[in-house]
């Protein structure tokens, strides 16, 4: 198209710079306003604490220690470390750097990099939605336990309660307190039961806390994490010191780490190690991308990611000492084998550990410490999701990362993830509640719907994008696989040309200012 410079050029709408000329005085006008820049963390520490709060959560406390003792003790660390360096750190770094490079969240980053895969962003947000809904319920349970901990006698320490049935034992008391007093468990999933108003109010409290943690974006979240991400470590150290001083703690730690090399031949051990890495590091949800997008472009995210991953795994390892020292004490007090008291998941937080706390001196104090730690771990994991390529990484951090990282992205990590997925399909068994209750057919169908509602968004978006994009099929695919020109690397490459172009445009405006419309109308000049 003809330009003011008298040069014939092909139209490039995406690269036009529109300049508006007015007749008010000698003003040259204004360049069209740039998109509003994304918020940034006030300092690097806010980013570190926010990511640490997101990845260091309940799984570090109630999942890793159990998997470690279940899968051969110390030898479980061999597959765990292998998955950490081949999958955990590479994926963690990839997601974080993707957000920092594009300065976009979990959805719009794909729109900038490869629009064809924007469905990945939508699918991950569905997963985040489901995760947030169940995490907030766990927070509600914890609040109810915390409020119950201030009583003169812990309610789960006594068998003389209205909800206690059957055997009058310490285990029965804790078990029935959780299932009947807290959950109000019915006979089946088809019997909803009545509203538990105390639990509903705790749920409301949890939602309100989450809202005030994120209501002002990274400005509020960055300040909240100073406390919520560090206080759990204080509580963990207190519980660790207390646990190590209890009788029976040594037996519990030996049970936690005693190696059984024969377990390495069991494929399930490797499966558990891989699932723990993916679960604990919060990858493939878009949250790390969103948190990384608030970084400065040249932040050394490679170093940050390595340190955060090591901190996460170290926290899981140390938490095992705090948990199994207390479980060893409980096993010795009750005269049973420690395998009879070890639990995983919510059973550890709401049955096994409260039962152990009830046997300690000053049980209310230790119960408060434990449940406050659980609340902050869960709150950080809940808050994170709600916050609104190799050469590219070199541009950002200023040096080339470990070459092994590149090969992990290209070959190792995809191969391991594929094998893990296929093995999980082969070993799949229908889910049962408490290993006893089988859900009706429509319960399994509902679970399948939740799974497909996130995964099907990827191919459905591809189909939709191809259908609405103009051109031939080859042109559509090429356009949908082409990165946007306004990402930092493209902008950086064109910076020298733009500087010269801007100087030329200003000179052109000066020489053509006298030719503006005499009626004072605004003229728009397009320069390619």
Annotated binding residues for Na(+) = 53, 60, 280, 312, 377, 380-381
- 3-state DSSP call for residue 163? coil
Q: How far is CA 442 from CA 373, 439, 489, 519, in A?
A: 37, 8, 50, 73
**Are 75 and 270 contacting, i.e. CB atoms less than 8 angstroms apart?**
no
For residues 366 and 368, give the distance between their C-alpha atoms in angstroms, rounded to a whole number: 5
Kindly give, in sequence order, each residue whose CB lies less than 8 Å from that of residue 142, ignoring residues fewer than 6 positions away. Answer: 349, 371, 374, 375, 378
- Among 421, 60, 65, 77, smallest CA distance to 269 is for 77
CA–CA dist 469, 447 (Å, integer)? 34
What strands lie across the sheet with 17-21, from one edge to the other? 30-31, 17-21, 523-527
Phi-psi region of 501 (alpha: psi -120 to 50; beta: other; left: phi over 0): alpha
* CA atoms of 329 and 245, how far apart (whole Å): 10
- Residue identified by tokens 């994008």 is 465
Q: Cα separation of 94 and 82, whole Å? A: 18
Distances (CA, A) of 139 to 180, 208, 214, 216, 316: 18, 12, 17, 22, 20
Residue 395 tokens read as 């541009």
Is residue 16 helix, strand or coil? Answer: coil
User: Rounded to whole angstroms, how far apart are CA atoms 310 and 317?
Assistant: 11
Closest CA to 84 of 324, 313, 427: 313
Measured CA to CA, the distance from residue 253 to residue 261 in angstroms comes to 18
- Binding-site positions: 53, 60, 280, 312, 377, 380-381
Q: Please count the other Cβ atoms lying within 10 Å of the Cβ belonging to residue 83.
A: 23
Are the C-beta atoms of residues 482 and 471 closer than 8 Å to each other?
no
Q: Are 444 and 430 in contact (CB under 8 A)?
A: yes
**Assigned token pair, 229:** 């991400």
Nearest to 173 by CA among 160, 183, 186: 160
Taking a C-beta distance cutoff of 8 angstroms, is the pair 77, 64 a contact?
A: no
Cα distance between residue 408 and residue 416, in whole Å: 10
């Amino acid at each position: 198209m003809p330009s003011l410079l008298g040069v014939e050029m092909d139209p490039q709408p995406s690269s036009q710079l529109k300049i508006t000329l007015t007749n008010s005085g000698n003003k040259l006008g204004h360049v069209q306003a740039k998109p509003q820049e994304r918020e940034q963390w006030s300092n690097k520490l806010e980013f570190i604490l926010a990511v640490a709060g997101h990845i260091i959560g309940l799984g570090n406390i109630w999942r890793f220690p159990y998997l470690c003792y279940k899968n051969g003790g110390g030898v479980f660390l061999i597959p765990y470390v292998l998955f950490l360096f081949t999958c955990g750190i590479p994926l963690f770094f990839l997601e974080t750097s993707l957000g920092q490079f594009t300065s976009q969240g979990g959805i719009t980053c794909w729109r900038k990099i490869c629009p064809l895969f924007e469905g990945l962003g939508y699918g991950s947000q569905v997963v985040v939605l489901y995760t947030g809904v169940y995490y907030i319920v766990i927070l509600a349970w914890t609040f109810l336990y915390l409020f119950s901990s201030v009583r003169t006698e812990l309610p789960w320490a006594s068998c003389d309660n209205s909800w206690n049935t059957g055997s009058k034992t310490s285990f029965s008391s804790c078990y029935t307190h959780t299932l009947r007093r807290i959950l109000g468990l019915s006979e089946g999933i088809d019997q909803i039961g009545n509203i538990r108003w105390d639990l509903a109010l705790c749920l409301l409290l949890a939602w309100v806390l989450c809202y005030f943690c994120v209501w002002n974006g990274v400005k509020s979240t960055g300040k909240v994490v100073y406390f919520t991400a560090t206080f759990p470590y204080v509580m963990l150290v207190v519980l660790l010191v207390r646990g190590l001083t209890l009788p029976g703690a040594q037996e519990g730690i030996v049970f936690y780490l005693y190696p059984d090399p024969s377990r390495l031949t069991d494929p399930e051990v490797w499966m558990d190690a891989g699932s723990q890495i993916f679960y604990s590091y919060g990858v493939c949800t878009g949250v790390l991308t969103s948190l990384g997008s608030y970084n400065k472009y040249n932040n050394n995210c490679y170093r940050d990611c390595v340190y955060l991953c090591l901190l996460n795994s170290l926290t899981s390892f140390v938490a095992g000492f705090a948990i199994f020292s207390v479980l060893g004490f409980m096993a010795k007090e009750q005269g049973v084998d420690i395998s009879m008291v070890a639990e995983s998941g919510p059973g550890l937080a709401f049955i096994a550990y409260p039962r152990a706390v009830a046997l300690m001196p000053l049980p209310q104090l230790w119960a408060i410490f434990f449940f406050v730690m659980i609340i902050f771990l869960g709150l950080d994991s809940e808050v994170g999701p709600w916050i609104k390529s190799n050469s590219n990484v070199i541009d950002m951090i200023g040096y080339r990362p470990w070459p092994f990282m590149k090969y992990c992205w290209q070959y190792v990590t995809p191969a391991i993830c594929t094998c893990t997925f296929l093995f999980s399909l082969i070993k799949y068994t229908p889910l049962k509640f408490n290993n006893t209750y089988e859900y009706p057919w429509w319960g399994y169908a509902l679970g399948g719907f939740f799974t497909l509602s996130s995964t099907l968004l990827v191919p459905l978006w591809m189909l939709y994008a191809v259908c609405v994009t103009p051109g031939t099929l080859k042109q559509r695919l090429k356009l949908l696989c082409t990165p946007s020109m306004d990402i930092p690397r493209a902008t950086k490459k064109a910076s020298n040309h733009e500087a010269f172009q801007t100087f030329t445009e200003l000179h052109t405006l000066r020489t053509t200012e006298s030719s503006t419309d005499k009626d004072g109308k605004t003229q728009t000049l397009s320069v390619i």
